[in-house]
Structure 1
Amino acid sequence: MTDGATPGGARLSPEALSQLARKYHTLAELRRARAAGEPIPGKEVFRALAGEFPGALNELDNLPADEIARRSEALARALAGGPEERWMAWIHGYHTLMRAALYVKIRVARRAALSEAEAAALAERAARHAGTPVDAAFVIAVKSPPDGRLNRLVLGLLAAAFGAPAAEIRGTIFPRRPAPGG
């Protein structure tokens, strides 16, 4: 698929594409090292990867190596001016929105109430932290996400922004690994 990289059809920035390309290169290297029996990197490596790209550890665990390679190649083509695939904007949006949601969540988790002004101020800080616009309504939604799951909130926001079903977005960016022996 090559349609509509971002809501409204605009392309992702070269910086966003480069960040995604770097992420998939890192995932490929971690997979290669694991397959070669090299020592598992320290927790700080995985913490940094998950901090910059929430959901990347899911990809590391569940994406087949050939899909990681395919995504890397597709990003290289997009960086060279070729077409972008829908999943690129979806995963970029997922990373930025989840980064914002996690930033907010640790700041509101134990608060009984949050004023509109506090929510707006927190939204500004979260937007700067995550590199994506969020508002006070986002902060309130993070405080009480659907079924208590930030993932459902983020996927719902992506579905609304891209006009695609949340299940399709989730299944595309985080396909489930086939069961062993199945």
Structure 2
Amino acid sequence: MVVKAERPSHEALVALEGKYAEIAELRRARDRGEPIPEKAVFKALAERFPGALCELDTLPLDVVDARLEAIRSALAGGGIEAWIAWMIGYHALLRASLRIRIRAVRDRSCSDERAGELAKDASMHAGIEVDVAFVRATLRPPAGRIAAVVYMRLEALFDAPASAIRAALFPRLRDRRAASGDEQAW
């Protein structure tokens, strides 16, 4: 499936390519039996791409390599596979949610003015427009999980079911959750 929405920026594609190249190298190093890198390596990856450590832990290397090739094809002018745009949005929205949570750690029921300030700050920080409704949902997420808020916003942005987006972005998580009977947890 190719996304009909606005094409992600060249910068976003280059950044995503770098993420998957880094994940691939970390996985190959582990497969070669090399020492585990310093925690700072993982922290930096997670700060740039919230959720990337889950991919590092769960995606088979052949899936990582296929994703890397799809991004390189897109950078060469090919089509944008839906998961690419979804992943770029996922990282940006999760980054915005985390920023909101950190900035409002003691103020979960903030005023409209404060929610507007948080939305503006998170939008600038994450490079994606978020609104007061997103701020409020992030501060009081369903079942306490901000990922649910992110998937709901992705669903609205891309007119695709949140469950399909989640399954495409993190297929191994779906397999593990189905096996444990925890299919709805995000």
- Which residue is equivalent to 2:3? 3
What amino acid sits opposite 1:165 in the alignment?
P
- Which residue is equivalent to 1:39? 35
Q: Deviations over 1:85-144 (max 9, x none)?
A: 000000000000000000001122322531111111111111111011111221111110
% identical equivalent positions: 51
8 A contact 2:3–2:85 mirrored in 1 = no
1:112–1:83: structure 2 CA closer, same or farther, 3 Å change rule? closer
Q: Which of 85, 109, 115 is matched with 2:111 structurally?
A: 115
Write out aligned runs for 1:8-23 (5 A).
9-23=5-19
Paired residues in the alignment total 176
- Which residue is equivalent to 1:153? 149
- Which residue is equivalent to 1:92? 88
Q: Which segment drifts farther, 104-113 or 31-40?
A: 104-113
1:27 maps to 2:5: no
- Scaled by the length of structure 2, what TM-score is found? 0.90
8 A contact 2:112–2:132 mirrored in 1 = yes
- Structure 1 unmatched runs, 5+: none
8 A contact 2:108–2:139 mirrored in 1 = no
d(CA) in 2 for partners of 1:41, 1:154: 30
- Which residue is equivalent to 2:140? 144
1:135 maps to 2:131: yes
| Divergent runs of 4+, >6 A | none
What amino acid sits opposite 1:36 in the alignment?
R
- Structure 2 unmatched runs, 5+: 180-186
Q: Which of 151, 162, 168 is matched with 1:166 structurally?
A: 162
SS at 2:172's partner residue? coil
d(CA) in 2 for partners of 1:33, 1:123: 39
d(CA) in 2 for partners of 1:141, 1:45: 31
Coordinate RMSD, CA, aligned = 1.4
- Scaled by the length of structure 1, what TM-score is found? 0.92
What amino acid sits opposite 1:52 in the alignment?
R
d(CA) in 2 for partners of 1:115, 1:20: 36
